Every structure is written in structure tokens, then in C-alpha cells.
Structure 1
Amino acid sequence: MSIKDTIHSAGKNLHTIMITAREKDGSVETREAEPYSYRMTAGTEKFFCYDIQKDGIRNLLVSNILSVEETNSSFEPRWPVEV
């Protein structure tokens, strides 16, 4: 299953994801997040999610996402889930 397929499945099931991505500073971080949407910004596709540990919305370049795993943890959407 591709990264986007996994995100789509989690969004459809209202499950959180464990997402590992390269950060702007080059470090790699794994976080549990609620998946919400994709947006194109200046020709770059971004993925928007709610980082549970940091208690806030985050956006990641789709090209920087290394892996995604759907969890069994449910969430109540804060915004429409569009993934």
C-alpha cells in the first residue's frame, strides 16, 4: 500500500497515523497525527495533519514523507477529513 493509500485509509476510518518524515532541518521525526488534507502551495504538494503530541496542526511536504502506518486509535475530526 502506498503512503497516500495508507493516509486515505486512515482518514476514511478516522484512525490516527504514525508518520515519519524528513524535517526542514534535515532531521527525521516520527509523530502520531490525525490526517486531514493535501494542498498545493507554490507548485509543491503539502500534507496537513494534527500532531497529537505537539497539540497543533502541521504541514509536511509530501515528498519528505518517508513512511506512514495506520493505527487502531480513533479520533473525532476537528475539521473535515479530505484525504
Structure 2
Amino acid sequence: MSIRDTIASAGKNLHTIIITAREDDGSVETREAEPYSYRLKGRDEKFFCYDIKKAGIRNFHVNKIISVQETENSFVPRWPVEV
């Protein structure tokens, strides 16, 4: 299953994801998050999610997402889930 398919499945099932992505500074971060949407920002496509541990919205360059895993942890949407 592709990264997009995994995110879409988690969004449909209202399950959190474990996302691993390269940050702008080159570091690699892994976090549990609620999946919400994709948006174009100029020429960059970004994925928006809610980081559970940091209690805030986060966005990632789609091309810097390394892996995504759907969990069995459910969530109540804070905003419309558009993935």
C-alpha cells in the first residue's frame, strides 16, 4: 500500500498514523498524528495533520514523507478529514 493509500485509509477509518518524515533541517522525525488534508503551497504539496504529542497542527512536504503506518488508535476529528 502506498503512503497516500495508507493516509487515506487512516482518514476514512478515523485512525491515527505513525508518520516518519525528513524535516527542513534534514533531521528525521517520527510522530503519531491525526491525518487531515493535502494543500498546495506554491509549488509544494503539503500534508497537514495534528501531532498528538505536541498538541498542534503540523505540515510536511509530501515528497519528504518516508513512511506512514495506520494505527488502531481512533480519534474524533477536530476539522473535516479530507485525505
With normalisation by structure 1, the TM-score equals 0.99
* Distance in 1, Cα, partners of 2:50 & 2:40: 18
Gaps of 5+ in 1: none
Distance, in Å, in 1 between the alignment partners of 2:44 and 2:57 is 18
Q: TM-score, normalised by structure 2?
A: 0.99
User: Structure 2 matches for 1:1-83, cutoff 5 A?
Assistant: 1-83=1-83
Q: Secondary structure at the match of 1:12?
A: helix
Letter in structure 2 aligned against 1:32: E
Counterpart secondary structure, 2:82: coil
- Separation (CA, whole Å) in 1 of partners of 2:24 and 2:54: 17
Number of aligned residue pairs: give it: 83
1:43 shift after superposition: 1.2
Percent of aligned pairs with the same amino acid:
76
Q: Distance in 1 between matches of 2:81 and 2:7?
A: 11
Q: Can you list the C-alpha shifts for 1:41-79, whole angstroms capped at 9, x where unaligned?
A: 111100000000000000100000000000000000000
